[in-house]
Amino acid sequence: MGEERIIEGKILKGIGGFYYILDDHGEIHECKAAGRFRKEKIKPLPGDTVVFDPESVDGYGFITHIDKRRNELKRPQVANVDQVIITMAVKNPKPDLVLIDKLLMMASIANIHPIVCINKADLASKVEMDDLKKQYDSYYDVYIVCCENESGFDELKATFKGKISCFAGQSAVGKSSILNTIFKDFDLEVGTLSKKTARGKHTTRHAELILIEDNAIVVDTPGFSMLESFDIEIPEIGVHFLDINKFRRGCKFSSCIHLNEPECAVKEAVEDGQIDRRRYERYLKIVKEFKEGRKKYDG
Ligand code: ZN
Confidence of residue 34 (pLDDT cuts 50, 70, 90): confident
Sequence-ordered list of residues with C-beta below 8 angstroms from that of 25, at least 6 positions apart, any chain: none
User: Region 205-215: what's the mean pLDDT?
Assistant: 82
Confidence of residue 221 (pLDDT cuts 50, 70, 90): confident
pLDDT tens-digit readout, 73-83: 887 889 999 99
Q: Does domain 3-66 have CATH number 2.40.50.140?
A: yes
Whole-number Å distance, alpha carbon 262 to ligand 1 midpoint, is 8
Task: Say whether pLDDT at 56 is over 80.
Answer: no
Whole-number Å distance, alpha carbon 138 to ligand 1 midpoint, is 20
Domain with CATH 2.40.50.140 in the chain: 3-66
Whole-number Å distance, alpha carbon 219 to ligand 1 midpoint, is 37
How far apart (Å, rounded) are the C-alpha atoms in residues 167 and 87? 7
pLDDT tens-digit readout, 123-169: 999 999 999 999 999 999 999 999 988 999 999 999 999 999 999 99
Sequence-ordered list of residues with C-beta below 8 angstroms from that of 263, at least 6 positions apart, any chain: 251, 252, 253
Sequence-ordered list of residues with C-beta below 8 angstroms from that of 87, at least 6 positions apart, any chain: 117, 118, 119, 167, 168, 169, 173, 174, 175, 178
Q: Please answer whether residues 148 and 156 qualify as being in contact, where contact means their C-beta atoms are separated by less than 8 angstroms.
A: no
pLDDT at residue 187 in the model: 61
User: Across 33-47, 212-226, 250-264, which has the greatest mean pLDDT?
Assistant: 250-264
Whole-number Å distance, alpha carbon 287 to ligand 1 midpoint, is 13
Q: Does domain 234-298 have CATH number 3.90.226.10?
A: no
pLDDT at residue 215 in the model: 84
Whole-number Å distance, alpha carbon 263 to ligand 1 midpoint, is 7
Whole-number Å distance, alpha carbon 296 to ligand 1 midpoint, is 25
Domain with CATH 1.10.40.50 in the chain: 234-298
pTM of the complete model: 0.89
Task: Say whether pLDDT at 225 is over 80.
Answer: no
Whole-number Å distance, alpha carbon 257 to ligand 1 midpoint, is 5
pLDDT at residue 205 in the model: 61
Percent of the chain with pLDDT strictly greater than 70? 87
Confidence of residue 297 (pLDDT cuts 50, 70, 90): very low
Q: If one looks up domain 83-219 in CATH, what number appears?
A: 3.40.50.300
Whole-number Å distance, alpha carbon 207 to ligand 1 midpoint, is 39
Whole-number Å distance, alpha carbon 65 to ligand 1 midpoint, is 45
Q: Can you give the length of the chain in residues?
A: 299
Q: Please answer whether residues 223 and 76 qualify as being in contact, where contact means their C-beta atoms are separated by less than 8 angstroms.
A: yes
